[in-house]
Amino acid sequence: MSDLLHDALSRGPSLIERGQPNEGLAMLLGAAAEVDADARDYSALLHALQRAFHQTGNPRGVASIAWYLADVASPSLLTAPPPVDVARTQRMRGDEAAAARAFEEAGLLAHAAVSRERAGDLSGARALWSRLSHRVEGNDERVAQSARRPEAAAEQSYVLGLVRYNVARNSSSSRTDRARRDAIVGSVGALEEAASQFETLGQRERAFDCYNALAAIGATTGTFEHALEGRVNLIRVLREDYLQQYALQQFDEAMAVAEAASEFAAAASFAREAMSYARGLGLAADATTYAKRAIDLHAGTARAILRAGGPPELAENALLAAIGLAAEIGLLARAYGLYQEAAAIEGLDEVRRARHRRGAEHLRGADDAPAREGSKPTARPPGPPLEVWIVDVIEWEQGGLAEEACADILFDAGSRAKTAIERARDPATAPLRRRALLARLLALDIARRQGDGSLPQAAGALVELVRRLGEIVDYRVLSPLEALARHEAPEVRAKAVEAAGNMPFKRSAQLLRAAAEDDDRTVVEAAARATARKQSPVFVDPLRRLARDATAPAVRTAALKALTGIDNSEAADAVLTALEAGSAADRAAIIEALRKRGRIDRGSKLMIAARERMARGVSAEVAHDLQAALGSLE
């Protein structure tokens, strides 16, 4: 046990006993910041802290620790705290029906509906989702007011779409259920509208969420049109954002979905697009794999058309597409077989069949080109989270409250944790959960003191809260950080931007874009510092946009500097374009950043792109800059 923990355990409780609660609590909370402490020591500390909260009349703090410790047996946990905390306690006890009632009492209809679903009460859940849908549609004054901002209007459409989908999900799947059909229609309309608005606002990340939900609706309702709409646009957004592997992963899923729906032609079109895309990226092995898949799918399309008695000309077209592709990748024997298949299509006019027989003759005896050894397709990352219609509505309902986001993290468990005790002691999630507990306790304290008027100037405390949130690298803290980034105090905004700089999630770039246009210099400087840390391929598109559009020169140059640290062709293109056409400050920033990196690998994307540009011809000034930045290009 560390000295700090030992000291806190021995002196903290006694300080409280002696009538110095603030000092005692400060000591205990200070020790709780040792999130890497041994589980038993930390548990002892939290028990002491929980007793202190009891004594000082802080039932929410008591409940928070109880959740962390997975010890929710105390009856007082169901009476003293507010309904929202009671609901969480009931959830931990496994009584989702009681949790639903408490959430409903707290006015959190989405939370209540999720609990109803978990309790198996689908009609109850549907009624709650339906109520929420009406509320979102504009009856709720808060929502109506916030919808006056374009971003809020788009957000409202998005949430409305998800909520309506949840109504549909919990309705009978009978075709005669008019309410279900109306809910799906309404959901699709709202999501389409939201996606359109988000794209107009340049928030492609959020448009991605809409299309993801649309694809899920297609899957749930068995409506291939929605699935297609969602998948195609997911791919488009990912391609526009240069998230190449994620785009290829979506291509794979789209092909699988189309095949499962017997839509071979659509599946083949996905395979061909994936092939062209992979080829453009220089992923030769992936391109060949997709080309072979496309050949199979074209041939499958032709056979399916013929089986269904469809137009022989369409079957012929599909086979010709396969033949062309096979020849393109050197599979001449395969092309020969496909020609023979085309020549045998019944119902096709004799002139065409003769043409295919001649085509086969040209290829008689030809062999397939051997596959290149050692070329394997690249591994794909996992797809996006599936249940966005739950997760995102819950986040929206929490309204950016740090204490609620942190409470959700407290309930996390490692994949192997089965029981409450295992969850409490799960070493995999313990540090994150401890940080979340600390942030929640601080957020609750700030809220309580603001409520009773004992904290007239909250900025200092909020800065500390942001610091703690920044230590929690979890997607769920982005929402509170976004809320705090809109706070009236510039120091809070600046700190929130700084914290966002540590987050590896693409959504955090939205916060930087807003901060780059802030009126306060400290916020803009914080945005520049945070931007410079975003040296990951995930951020190439936001960085390019910042480098191009940000009004603050510091943010522009920070974005360019970050791009110099990312080794992919899009980043290289942005850097070289700025060297060719950027301002003197932009060029100087790039040269400085590249010089600091030292010797650059000759095979890096930046060096390759620079050599290509030099070969195409550049002005003497640009050649000089390239030389200064990259050294010899030979």
Partner 1 sequence: MSELAPLGPLLLAAVRPSAEGLLRRALGWARDLERLGVDVPLPIAHDLGLLLAAPTNYLEIAARRALAAAVTGHPGAAKMHEGYVEAIRALADDDTFERVRALRPSDDLVVVLLTKLLSGHESGRRRGSSEGIDVLDLGSVGSLESLERKLPALFAEAPRDADIEAIARFLRELTRLRVVLDTIDLDTVRLLAVVGQDGGAPSASIVSGLAQVELLSALSSLQANDVVNFSLELLPSVLETKRRSAPGTYATGGYQGLTRRGSLDSLVLTELAWDDDELMRRLIDDEVLFHARERSEDEASRLHLVLVDASASMRGDRTTFARGVAIALAKRLELEGEEARIRFFDRRLYEPFGGGASARQRRGALAAALPHVLAFRGERGRSPERVMRQLLAELEVLRARDRRSPVVHLVTHGAFYAPRALVQEVHSRASLFAVFIAPHREAQDDESSPDASLDIDFLDLLDGHWTVDQATLSKSDDRARRAKEIVQAIPKSQERPTSVRASLPPTGVRPSAPRSQR
Q: Are 12 and 24 in contact (CB under 8 A)?
A: yes
Min dist CB 250 to partner 1, Å, is: 12
Cα–Cα separations (whole angstroms), residue 235 to 209, 250, 278, 386, 542 = 12, 6, 13, 16, 17
Neighbouring residues of 1: CB distance < 8 A, sequence distance ≥ 6: 9, 37, 38, 41
DSSP 8-state secondary structure symbol assigned to residue 551? S
Distance of CA 351 to the CA centre of its chain: 54
- Integer distance in angstroms from the first to the last C-alpha of the chain? 59
> Is residue 328 involved in binding partner 1 (CB under 8 A)?
yes
Interatomic CA distance for residues 482 and 155, integer angstroms: 14
Q: Of the two residues 263 and 518, which places its CB atom closer to partner 1 in the complex?
A: 263
Backbone angles phi, psi at 331, to 5 degrees: -90, 70
- Chain centroid, CA 271 distance in Å: 25
Contact window for partner 1 (CB under 8 A) among 70-78, 181-189, 282-290, 469-477 = 181-189
- Whether 477 and 402 have beta carbons less than 8 Å apart is answered as yes
| Stretch in the footprint of partner 1 (CB under 8 A) among 136-144, 280-288, 332-340, 595-603 | 332-340
Tokens 């313990």: give the residue. 430
Token readout for 268 is: 């083949």
**Binding of partner 1 by 363 (CB under 8 A):** yes
Is position 364 an interface residue for partner 1 (rule: CB under 8 A)? no
Token pair listed for 552: 């603050």
- Least Å distance, CB 224 to partner 1, is 4
Question: Minimum distance between the CB of residue 251 and partner 1, rounded to whole angstroms?
Answer: 13
Residue number with CB closer to partner 1 (251 or 539): 251
**In the numeric block, which tokens belong to residue 270?**
């996905």
Report d(CA 450, CA 457) in Å as an integer: 9
- Tokens 């807003």 locate to 514
Q: Which residues, in sequence order, are bridge partners of residue 331?
A: 368
Specify the amino acid at residue 453: G
Closest listed residue to residue 574, CA positions, set 609, 535, 616: 609
* Residue placing its CB nearer to partner 1 in the complex, 234 or 405: 234
Instruction: Verify binding: residue 168, partner 1, rule CB under 8 A.
Output: no
Using CB under 8 A as the binding rule, whether residue 320 contacts partner 1 is answered as yes
**For partner 1, which residue of 133, 170, 171, 233 counts as binding (CB under 8 A)?**
233
Going residue by residue from 268 to 287, which x/- string records binding to partner 1, judged by CB under 8 A? xx--x---------------
Which two three-digit tokens encode residue 619?
């002005």
Show the site string, 249-268: x = touches partner 1 by CB under 8 A, - = not: -----------xxxx-xx-x
To partner 1, the closest distance from the beta carbon of 621 in angstroms equals: 27
Nearer to partner 1, 260 or 344 (CB): 260
Task: Check residue 181 for interaction with partner 1 (CB under 8 A).
Answer: yes
- HSE on the CB side for 269, CA within 13 Å? 9
* Contact flags string 446-485 toward partner 1, x per CB under 8 A: ----------------------------------------
Q: Does 327 interact with partner 1 (rule: CB under 8 A)?
A: yes
One residue of 52, 321, 562, 606 binding partner 1 per CB under 8 A: 321
Number of Cβ within 10 Å of residue 236's Cβ equals 17
**x-or-dash pattern for partner 1, window 290-319, by CB under 8 A?**
---------------x--xxxxxxx--x--
Considering only the stretches 43-51, 328-336, 458-466, 536-544, report the one whose residues sit in contact with partner 1 under the rule CB under 8 A. Answer: 328-336
Complex with partner 1: residue 118 or 236, whichever CB lies closer: 236
Query: What's the gap between Cα 488 and its chain centre?
Result: 28
CA quadruple 566, 568, 572, 575: dihedral, nearest 10: -30
- Residue 383 Cβ vs partner 1, minimum distance, rounded to whole Å: 18
Total site size for partner 1, rule CB under 8 A? 59
> Which helix (H) or strand (E) covers residue 632, if one does?
none
- Nearest to partner 1 of 90, 250 (CB atom): 250
Compare residues 323 and 574 and give the one whose CB is closer to partner 1: 323
**CB of residue 179 to partner 1, shortest distance in Å:** 12
Site for partner 1 in 202-231 (CB under 8 A): 207, 222-226, 228-229, 231
| Cβ atoms of 594 and 629 closer than 8 Å | yes
Which of 96, 199, 341, 498 touches partner 1 (CB under 8 A)? 199
With CA atoms as reference, report the closest residue to 207 among 248, 271, 155, 285. 155
Distance in Å, CB of 110 to partner 1, minimum: 24
Q: Which residue has the tokens 């700090």?
A: 4
* Least Cβ distance, residue 634 to partner 1 (angstroms): 23
Is 349 a residue that touches partner 1 (CB under 8 A)? no
Please state the closest distance from residue 510 (CB atom) to partner 1, in A: 19
Angle at which helices 620-630 and 605-616 pack, to 10 degrees?
Answer: 160
* Cβ atoms within 10 Å of 138's Cβ, excluding its own: 12
340 sits near partner 1 (criterion: CB under 8 A): no
Pick the stretch among 188-196, 486-494, 547-555, 615-623 that binds partner 1 (CB under 8 A): 188-196
Could you say whether residue 38 binds partner 1 (CB under 8 A)? no
Distance of CA 584 to the CA centre of its chain: 36
When the beta carbons of 233 and 244 are compared against partner 1, the nearer one is: 233
Cross-strand bridge partners of residue 368: 331
Is position 195 an interface residue for partner 1 (rule: CB under 8 A)?
yes
The token duo for 166 is: 């949840």
Q: What is the distance, to the nearest Å, from the Cα of residue 379 to the centroid of all Cα atoms in its chain?
A: 19
The verdict on 323 binding partner 1 (CB under 8 A) reads yes
Instruction: Name the minimum Å distance from CB 214 to partner 1.
Output: 8
**Residue 424 touches partner 1, criterion: CB under 8 A:** no
Taking the least distance from each CB to partner 1, the nearer of 333 and 458 is 333
Q: How far is the CB of 230 from partner 1 (least distance, A)?
A: 8
Based on the number of CB atoms within 10 Å of its own CB, is 381 exposed (0-12), middle (13-18) or buried (19 or more)? exposed
Binding positions for partner 1, rule: CB under 8 A: 175, 178, 181, 184-185, 188-189, 192-193, 195-196, 199, 207, 222-226, 228-229, 231-233, 236, 260-263, 265-266, 268-269, 272, 305, 308-314, 317, 320-321, 323-324, 327-328, 332, 335, 339, 354-356, 358-359, 362-363, 366
